[in-house]
Structure 1
Amino acid sequence: MINKNSPLPIYAQLEEQIREQIESGILGPGDTLPSEREFCERHGISRMTVRQAINNLAKAGYLRREKGRGTFVSERKMEQQLQGLTSFTEDMKARGRKPSSKLLHFEIVPAVESIAQTLSIPKHDPVYHIKRIRMADGEPMALETTHIPANLVPGLTPEIATGSIYNYLEEHLSIAIDYSNQVIESVTASETESHYLDIPSGSPILLMQRDTFLKDGTPVETVKSAYRADRYKFVTVIRR
C-alpha cells in the first residue's frame, strides 16, 4: 500500500511497487498495466502522481506505451557481457535466439581521412562500407555501420555480410581476430536510427564504437552500432 506519511514521495513508492511486480514476475512481458484511473482509485492519489511513476518506468525501459492501446510491460533486456570478444551472431545463438541481418548498404568506397586513420591505411584506399540491421528472432536490435579494409579482407560479398563476418574472417580467410577497443555512450536516436530500429524518434539508444584488431595489432574493422536501450544492457565484472 501507499504510505502517505512516508518521507519517500508517493510517485516513487508507486514506481517501486510496479518495478518489484515486474522484477518478481507478477507482471510479465506484454502484460497490460492498469489504467491511470485505476491506480488513482486504488490508492487515492492524483493522476499526475501516477503519470510521473509510469513515465519514469517507461524511460527506464520497464514499460512501453502504445498510443490508443495502453501501457504494457516491456520485454526483458538482454545482457551482453563485456568480457570476451564475440560477434552479434555468436551472442544471439548463445542466448537461444535466432540471429539475422537485413543488409541496407554494401559498397567498396575510397576511405575518407577519419576512417583511414582508424584503420591505419592510406587515405582513399578501398574499404567495404556496410550498413546492417541486426535482428534477433526477427526483431531489430541494432543498426550497425561497418568499415573493413578491402585489401586486407578479399572476397567479401553482400551474401556473406548478411551473416557473420567474423566467421568469414576466421573460417575462410584464417584471419585471427585478437581484441577490440570499445566505447559505449547513451544518446538519443536520430530519425534514421528510430526508423530502422522501430522505436519512437528521440528514444534513448546505446551507441557503441568498436575498433577490432588482429594479433599483430593490424586494424581489421571499425564499427558503429546503435543498440536499442529498451532491449539491451551491457554488463561487466570489475575487480579491485
Structure 2
Amino acid sequence: MNRVPKKTPVYIQMHNQMREWINTREWEEGRKIPSERDLALQFDVSRMTARQAVNTLVDEGLLERRRGAGTFVALEKVRERMSGVPSFTETVERQGKQPASKLVAFHTKPASISEAEKLMIKHNEEVLIMERIRTADGIPICYEVATIPFKFVSDLSKTQITKQLFKTLEMEKGLRVERSEQTISATWASESIAEMLGIKRGSSVLRLRQVSYSQDGTPFEYVRSQYVGDRYEFFLEATKK
C-alpha cells in the first residue's frame, strides 16, 4: 500500500465544525439541528456531502435521528461498563454458524477530529477506513466502519488487513489486543444501512462503538458498528465483588 497525501475532505471539515458546535454547547443537548438541505446551503455544499457529515456524527453517537421528527443533538446517556474483548468471528463460530464479511469500502483519508481523539493521533493524520458487512450463515448481521492509523498497516496487504487484521498485527508487529472499550446504544436504521442489512428503514439496530488497545495502551482501531436488533444480542456476565 502506498501512502498518498490527501486534503481533508469537505464532509470531514463540515463534521469537525458541527462537532465543535456540539462540544461548545452552541448546539445544546436535545436541540434539533437544521435539515440536511439547510446545512447544505449554510456550508455551500451538496446535500449528499451534508448527509455524509451528519451520518458520521450519528455513527459517533453525537447526533440521533428521530423518526418523523428530524435529527437532534444526542442526550448524554447512562453508561455501564462491559468486560471482555468482543470478537464477531469467535461469537458467531461459538453459535455453530459460519462468519463472513463483505467489503464495502477500503481507502485512506485524513483523520477527523473525533477519530484523532479516539486513536490519540494528530488531527489530519492518515488513517485507513474499512467498511464491511458482517454475516452469519450468509445473513447480514451488522455493518461496521473501522478506522486504523495508517502507520500500523502501511506495509500490510489488503488481504492481511481485511481477513485477519489482529492475527497479522500480532505475528508481524508484536501488537496484540490487550483490552477494548465499548459503548452500546439503540437507534434505528437509515435508508442506506437498511438496504445493506436487508431490513426495513426505521428498524431497530444496536450501535456499538469500540476502541481497541495494544498491550502498551496504544489505541490502534476505532470501530463503529450497527447490528440488526432482532438478529444479534450482547451478553454481560457480572459478579458482585
TM bucket normalised to smaller: 0.5 to 0.7
Which consecutive residues of structure 2, in runs of 5 or more, have no partner in the other structure? 1-81
Amino acid at match of 1:131: E
Q: Map of 1:46-61 to 2, 5 A cutoff?
A: none
Two-structure CA RMSD over aligned residues (Å): 1.6
Secondary structure of the corresponding residue to residue 196 of structure 1: helix
Q: How does 1:1-240 map to 2 (within 5 A)?
A: 83-240=83-240
Q: How many residues end up aligned between the 2 structures? A: 159
Provide the secondary structure at the position in 2 that maps to 1:152. helix
Give how far 1:217 is off.
1.2
For 2:193 and 2:164, how far apart are their aligned partners in 1?
A: 22
Structure 1 residue identity aligned to 2:172? H
Q: Per-residue deviation at 1:177?
A: 1.0
Structure 1 pair 161–135 and aligned structure 2 pair: CA distance change class (3 A):
farther
- Asked if 2 retains the 8 angstrom alpha-carbon contact of 1:189 and 1:203, the reply is yes
| Residues 182, 210 of structure 1: 8 Å contact kept | yes
**CA contact 1:87–1:166 (8 Å) conserved in 2:** no
- 1:168 deviation in Å? 2.1
> Considering only CA atoms, is the larger Rg found in Structure 1 or Structure 2?
1
Q: Residues 103 and 158 of structure 1 are in contact (CA less than 8 Å); yes or no, is this contact kept in structure 2?
A: no
**Range moving further from structure 2, 112-121 or 168-177:** 168-177
Structure 1 CA distance for aligned equivalents of residues 163 and 93 of structure 2:
12
My pick for the range that moved more, 101-110 or 145-154, is 145-154
TM-score by length of 2: 0.62
Please give the per-residue CA displacement for 1:110-167, whole angstroms capped at 9, x wherever unaligned.
Answer: 1122111111111111111110001111111100000001112333443234423222
Identity of aligned residues (%): 35
Matched position secondary structure for 1:91: helix
- Shift of residue 94, structure 1, vs aligned partner: 2.4
Aligned AA (1:139): I
In structure 2, how many angstroms separate the alpha carbons of the residues matched to 1:166 and 1:113? 25
SS at match of 2:196: helix
> For residues 101 and 230 of structure 1, what CA distance do their matches in structure 2 show?
19
- 2:139 aligned partner, one-letter code: E
Q: 1:90 to 1:170 in 2, by over 3 A?
A: farther
CA pair 87-169 structure 1, distance change in 2 beyond 3 A: farther
- Return the TM-score normalized by structure 1: 0.62
Deviation at 1:90, TM superposition (A): 2.2
Q: CA separation of 1:86/1:154 partners in 2, compared to 1, >3 Å: closer, same or farther?
A: farther
Deviations 1:53-89 (A, max 9, x none): xxxxxxxxxxxxxxxxxxxxxxxxxxxxx64314222
Structure 1 counterpart of 2:237, which letter?
Answer: V
Aligned partners of 1:97 and 1:190: how far apart in 2? 27
Tell me what 2:4 maps to. Answer: none
Query: Shift in Å at residue 221 of structure 1?
Result: 0.5
Separation of aligned partners in 2, 1:222 and 1:108: 14
- Give every structure 1 segment of 4 or more consecutive aligned residues whose post-TM-superposition deviation is greater than 6 Å: none
Conserved 8 A contact 2:92-2:136: yes
Deviation per residue, 1:154-210 (Å, 9 max, x gap): 334432344232222223332121101100011111111101110010000000000
Native 8 Å contact 1:103 1:133 kept in 2: yes
**Distance in structure 2 (CA, Å) of the matches to 1:85 and 1:145:** 17
CA separation of 1:229/1:176 partners in 2, compared to 1, >3 Å: closer, same or farther? same
